[in-house]
């Protein structure tokens, strides 16, 4: 996949998550994972839950790829307080240099 496509997918989901774009279908698919009280005992879960996919085709949908990118970005910056420019810089470095987020 192209780097520009992955960045634009992630930016679109970021804007839906922050309320800049109104898309109820996508917003309904975004499920936040809230850590419990035992967070010190194990690793922190990813911010957004990925939809369950039984096949490779479903695991490579645009929504799943964008959620993977958002989870990778959420490990570095706070998605709810950063600006769009900060988000774009971080997601572009992750997508262009690190292919392990997929």
Half-sphere exposure of 59 (CA within 13 A, CB side): 5
pLDDT of residue 29: 84
pLDDT of residue 99: 54
pLDDT of residue 100: 53
Q: What are the residue ranges in the chain where pLDDT is below 70?
A: 1, 35-44, 98-102
Q: With beta carbons less than 8 A apart as the criterion, state whether 18 and 45 touch.
A: no
pLDDT of residue 72: 87
Q: Domain count of the chain?
A: 1
The domain of 57 spans 3-101
pLDDT of residue 12: 92
Task: Tell me if the pTM is above 0.85.
Answer: no
């Amino acid at each position: 996949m192209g780097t520009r496509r992955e960045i634009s997918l992630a930016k679109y989901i970021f804007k839906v998550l922050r309320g800049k774009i109104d898309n109820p279908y996508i917003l309904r698919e975004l499920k936040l994972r809230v850590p419990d009280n035992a967070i010190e005992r194990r690793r922190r879960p990813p911010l957004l839950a990925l939809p369950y996919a039984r096949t490779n085709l479903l695991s490579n949908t645009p929504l799943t790829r964008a959620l993977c990118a958002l989870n990778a970005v959420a490990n570095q910056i706070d998605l709810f307080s950063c600006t769009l420019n900060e988000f774009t810089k971080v997601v572009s470095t992750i997508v262009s240099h690190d292919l392990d987020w997929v």
